[in-house]
């Protein structure tokens, strides 16, 4: 059943001053259950939370591996530091956004900066 509900979503950094064309070398790949409209399905996430992983890739830095977590109040975030107290990276209104190729989403990094990413692919896994 897992293979039918989980999707691998790739987000690439959208245009910025530093990267006027965006960057395929800066972004995230994460696994989440998406409904037919591309929204994260919280009930299915609960059943498959261990498989809902994230990889943050950032040119010049080591990849960070973690989990997609559903926070109190309904917010979604990427959690890397299981045993420590590092801040999570929060998805801005991930619960309302549809993950569809070509759409844009924002993520607030551990330093509190908001970055915009483009959904470049969604693959069944």
Q: Tell me what the mean pLDDT of segment 36-46 comes to.
A: 94
Residue 85 scores a pLDDT above 70:
no
Q: How far is CA 83 from the centre of its chain?
A: 21
Task: DSSP for 27-53, please give it.
Answer: EEEEEEEB-TTS-B-HHHHHHHGGG-E
Residue 124 scores a pLDDT above 50:
yes
* Global pTM value: 0.90
Question: What total number of domains does the chain contain?
Answer: 1
* Mean pLDDT across the chain: 90
Look up residue 122 and give its two tokens.
């969604």
| Residue 25 pLDDT class (50, 70, 90 cuts) | very high
Q: Nearest-CA neighbor of 100 among 115, 114, 77, 118?
A: 118
Look up residue 33 and give its two tokens.
């259950």
- Burial (Cβ within 10 Å: 0-12, 13-18, ≥19) of residue 124: exposed
Look up residue 68 and give its two tokens.
């997609």
Do 68 and 54 form a contact (C-beta atoms < 8 A)?
yes
pLDDT over 70, % of the chain: 92
Q: Which domain covers residue 108, as residue numbers?
A: 2-124
| Residue 2 pLDDT class (50, 70, 90 cuts) | very low
């Amino acid at each position: 059943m897992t293979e039918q509900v989980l999707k691998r979503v790739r987000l690439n950094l959208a245009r910025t001053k530093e990267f006027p064309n965006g960057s395929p070398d800066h972004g995230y790949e994460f696994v989440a259950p998406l409904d037919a409209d591309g929204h994260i399905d919280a009930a299915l996430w609960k059943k498959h939370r261990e498989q809902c992983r994230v990889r943050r890739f950032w040119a010049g830095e080591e990849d960070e591996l973690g989990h997609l977590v559903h926070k109190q109040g309904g917010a979604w975030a990427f959690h890397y530091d299981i045993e420590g107290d590092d801040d999570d990276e929060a998805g801005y209104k991930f619960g309302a956004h549809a993950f569809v190729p070509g759409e844009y989403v924002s993520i607030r990094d551990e330093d509190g900066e908001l970055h915009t990413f483009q959904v470049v692919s969604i693959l069944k896994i």
